[in-house]
Amino acid sequence: MHNYNQLVHSNPVHSDFFVVNWCIGNTCNFTCSYCPEGLHDGSVPFVDLETACRFSDQVIEHYRLLNPNKMFYFEFTGGEVSLCPWFLELAAHIKGRGGHVGMISNGSRAMPFWQRAVEHLDHVCLSYHPEGAKPEHFFAVTSFLSERLRVHVNIMMPPERFEECWGFAERMAEVPNISMAIQPLIVNFDRVLYDYTEDQRLRIEKQHQLVVSKIKHTRKFESYRGSMTKVMQDKRKTAAPQVLIAANENSWQGWLCSAGTEQIVVNMNGGIFRGWCLEGGKIGNIRNGKIAFPQNEVRCAKNFCHCNFDIMCTKRAEVESRPHPW
């Protein structure tokens, strides 16, 4: 039971963006133990560039007809996005249509790739995976990108390497103008957190005060998604998705959710859904171009929300109308 009845964007500008979270494939050069094999085994080939461009055009054209002022943010995930041979060409195409482009990456590609990529990107989310990452290279890539565009850093926290990763997070806080999240891990992307100690969970919940607040900001970059705000009448409290997950406050069963009207997701097979929860069912596939774009909110039937991306869209509890007692 929540003590609020709305979850809204803390930054009102985020409501102006329609966001596409697109898993471009499952080819990856890392094989992290906490990542399901199907997300990194390369079993699903990339679609072709023409199909990818056609789908991005469909999204932009559909929602611009509904709202000429609507802005678009395409965020690509994987697998490892930087391994897609035509990714930068697609990014350039979307930018040419007035869209914004971001990617989630493990940051492992050599510096020449990032030197080419910066002109086609607006945002990069770098995920630090301690089982595969080279700390010095990750730090160098983050520093290079943060001088040129918006950068967010996720620090993945396997319990058995917690202190090592916490120390790296403290070092990353020395890089100015980034945002950062110390990410708790969920077993098989289900409900159960990995076996963190009480002290570890408390530190994750208090990560902003302990680490993130130390990051210095001298410039402002445009952002597209971020923290949410709990609203109950005149009371408001900001909450980051990773903190909601760590505190087991990530259930909105029975609420109306804007997944599908503020966002859609594309899985590695080209299937299109409202969110990674798959609530509301499949709405199309990029391979055949047939898409039934949602018109309304969807009522959540899930008993928890496991994905940061799905958490970062508007949700509201319906207030029942009751007759007056007189």
Contact criterion met (CB below 8 Å) for 146 and 118: no
Predicted confidence at residue 318, as pLDDT, reads: 81
pLDDT of residue 263: 97
At residue 246, the pLDDT reads 84
pLDDT higher than threshold 50 for residue 160 = yes
Q: What is the pLDDT of residue 323?
A: 39
**Mean of the per-residue pLDDT values of the chain:** 93
Task: Identify the pLDDT of residue 288.
Answer: 94
Among 1-10, 78-87, 104-113, the minimum mean pLDDT is found in 1-10
Question: For the chain, first and last CA: distance in Å?
Answer: 29
- Model confidence pTM above 0.75: yes
Q: Distance between CA atoms of 117 and 105, rounded to whole angstroms?
A: 12
Alpha helices (H) in 67-195, listed in sequence order: 87-96, 111-117, 135-146, 162-172
Are 17 and 67 in contact by the 8 Å Cβ rule? The answer is: no
Compare 245 and 84 and report the one with higher pLDDT: 84
Is the pLDDT at 205 greater than 50, yes or no?
Answer: yes
Range list of H helices, the chain? 49-66, 87-96, 111-117, 135-146, 162-172, 198-205, 207-210, 241-246, 308-311
Q: Which residues contact 181 (CB under 8 A, 6 or more apart)?
A: 152, 153, 154, 155, 207, 212, 240, 241, 242
- Indicate if the pLDDT at residue 134 is higher than 50: yes
321: pLDDT strictly greater than 50: no
**Two tokens, residue 296:** 């309304």
For residue 39, pLDDT beyond 70: yes
Judged against a pLDDT cut of 70, whether residue 23 lies above it is answered with: yes
- pLDDT at residue 2, as a whole number: 87
CB 265 within 8 A of CB 256: no
Whether residue 188 has pLDDT greater than 80: no
Query: Is pLDDT of 324 > 90?
Result: no
Nearest to 76 by CA among 56, 48, 60: 56
Question: Does residue 28 carry a pLDDT above 70?
Answer: yes
Ramachandran angles phi, psi of 146, nearest 5°? -65, -20
d(CA 17, CA 174): 30
Q: Residue 319 — very low, low, confident or very high, per pLDDT cuts 50/70/90?
A: low
